[in-house]
């Protein structure tokens, strides 16, 4: 375990090939954290400049994670078969993004675990983007779309929701495939859009709130409840297909 004052990877690569627990603040300020070992960060995790998480080891954060980087359009790359599991509170801010597969591809994933929170406050229009390989975002906790902009989650990223997605500001457009048993809460004046791919709202899922649901190119199979139909401002099917199976 690492128990010193702090770890800062500013350039180059730190390879951790054994399982490691980091109890101090971990900062990526331009470098790469890689390796085949599983890394658990119990202290703060900060990304302050374009940086990379790479390698097959699982990266787990249990405290506060802040991605707020210098430079326009900076990003954190998840590549080479990396899985990041957030078990604390993570915030993607500034005008930053997470870039899956940049630049070595692989099967990469980000899991927002049950009881965890992922805040999307960035002003970047494409906060979850795919370079190459495959990518999955699994939300089992709380996912907050909290910036008054239009966020589009890339069509190459599978987005699965078994927790709660709150659209409290702006528009959240999901362009990838996915299967849900969780809830989408769409506040007044906001929009949830399914723009591409195939989405299955399984039993137990729901879309609630006084906002707007848009199907604009996706095929949506709605088996779960659709509270927004009774309480929302509108449902707009502009292209694609909305199958109501209840």
Confidence check: pLDDT of 156 > 70 = yes
Q: Are 243 and 220 in contact (CB under 8 A)?
A: yes
- For the CA atoms of 30, 34, 37, 39, the dihedral, rounded to the nearest 10 degrees, stands at 20
pLDDT recorded at residue 14: 98
pLDDT recorded at residue 230: 72
Q: Are 91 and 121 in contact (CB under 8 A)?
A: yes
Confidence check: pLDDT of 229 > 80 = no
Whole-prediction pTM: 0.96
Q: Is 94 left (phi over 0), alpha (psi -120 to 50) or beta?
A: left
Q: How many residues does the chain have?
A: 246
CA angle, corner 34, sides to 29 and 163, nearest 5?
A: 85
Average model confidence (pLDDT) across the chain:
95
């Amino acid at each position: 375990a690492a128990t010193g004052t702090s770890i800062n990877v500013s350039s180059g690569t730190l390879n951790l090939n054994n399982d490691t627990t980091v109890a101090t603040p971990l900062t990526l300020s331009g470098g790469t954290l890689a390796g085949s070992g599983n890394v658990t960060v119990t202290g703060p995790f900060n990304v302050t400049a374009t940086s990379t998480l790479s390698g097959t080891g699982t990266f787990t954060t249990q405290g506060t994670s802040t991605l707020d980087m210098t430079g326009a359009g900076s990003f954190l790359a998840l590549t080479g078969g990396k899985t990041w599991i957030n078990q604390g509170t993570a915030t993607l801010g500034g005008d930053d993004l997470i870039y899956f597969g940049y630049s070595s591809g692989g099967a990469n994933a980000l899991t927002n675990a049950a009881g965890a929170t992922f805040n999307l406050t960035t002003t970047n229009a494409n906060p979850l983007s795919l370079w190459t390989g495959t990518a999955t975002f699994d939300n089992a906790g709380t996912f907050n779309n909290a910036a008054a902009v239009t966020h589009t989650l890339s069509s190459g990223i599978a987005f699965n929701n078994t927790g709660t997605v709150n659209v409290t500001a702006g528009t959240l457009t999901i362009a990838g495939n996915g299967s849900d048993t969780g809830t989408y809460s769409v506040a007044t004046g906001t929009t949830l859009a399914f723009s591409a791919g195939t989405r299955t709202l399984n039993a137990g899922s729901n879309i609630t709130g006084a906002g707007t649901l848009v199907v604009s190119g996706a095929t949506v199979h709605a088996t779960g409840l659709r509270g927004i139909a009774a309480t929302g401002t509108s449902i707009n099917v502009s292209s694609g297909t909305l199958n109501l199976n209840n």
